[in-house]
Amino acid sequence: MICLVLGLFAGLFQTACSGPGERTFVAIKPDGVQRHLVGEIIRRFERKGLQLVGLKLLQASEELLREHYIALRDRPFYSRLVQYMSSGPVVAMVWQGLDVVKTVRTMIGETNPAESLPGTIRGDFCVEVSKNVIHGSDSAESAGQEISLWFRPEELICWEDTAEHWLYA
């Protein structure tokens, strides 16, 4: 009974938990992890003022990755993409903030690193489209789908970000 009541309160708190803005899904790909870029990438999002609400290192299954990239299933590189993404651990994250989907995509750069400006993650750290270090959701809709594919609701932490007062009007 006590557990049920506590669970209900936790559930209420979870749904009431809504900081500013929206959420997006980000993954540091196996090449980013192998090249020790995890700290550098997280540092950029933190300094920007985005709020980290979910984070884990995992070896993603091919099944998960096939689903994650389902929209690209007819592209010739689909199998290679799934192989590469499952070739080592990835760091899966959820970030929150005002216009965070767009902001993160801007900070990541273009799909092709050669077209990514210096100062962006792909512009600074990679050269080939097939090893482009990082994934970020491309819309609020895909962010919602990807977050629920990669994270269980209880893995997303609702916490008061004291910097919020200095970031938002």
Residues found near ligand DAT in the complex (CB under 6 A): 72, 77, 81, 111, 129-130, 132, 135, 138
Both tokens of 67, joined, read 């689903």
Q: Which of 36, 68, 135, 165 is catalytic?
A: 135
Provide φ and ψ at 150, rounded to 5°: -95, -25
* Residue 59 contact among ligand DAT, Mg ion, none, beta carbon within 5 to 8 Å by kind: none
Q: Which is nearer to ligand DAT, 53 or 121 (CB)?
A: 121
- Is residue 50 within 8 Å of 104, Cβ to Cβ? yes
* Chain-centroid distance, C-alpha 117: 21
SS3 at position 139: coil
Rounded CA separation 134/57 (Å):
14
Q: Between 135 and 164, how does the x/- string for binding to Mg ion read (CB under 5 A)?
A: ---x--------------------------
Nearest residue to 65 via CA among 40, 45, 92: 92
Shortest distance, CB of residue 109 to ligand DAT, whole angstroms? 8
Cβ neighbors of 80 (< 8 A, separation 6 or more) are: 130
Q: Which is nearer to ligand DAT, 23 or 135 (CB)?
A: 135
* Residue 18 contact among ligand DAT, Mg ion, none, beta carbon within 5 to 8 Å by kind: none
Shortest distance, CB of residue 138 to Mg ion, whole angstroms? 5
Residue 135 is among the residues annotated as catalytic for this protein: yes
Active-site annotation, residues:
135
User: Which residues bind to Mg ion, rule: CB under 5 A?
Assistant: 138
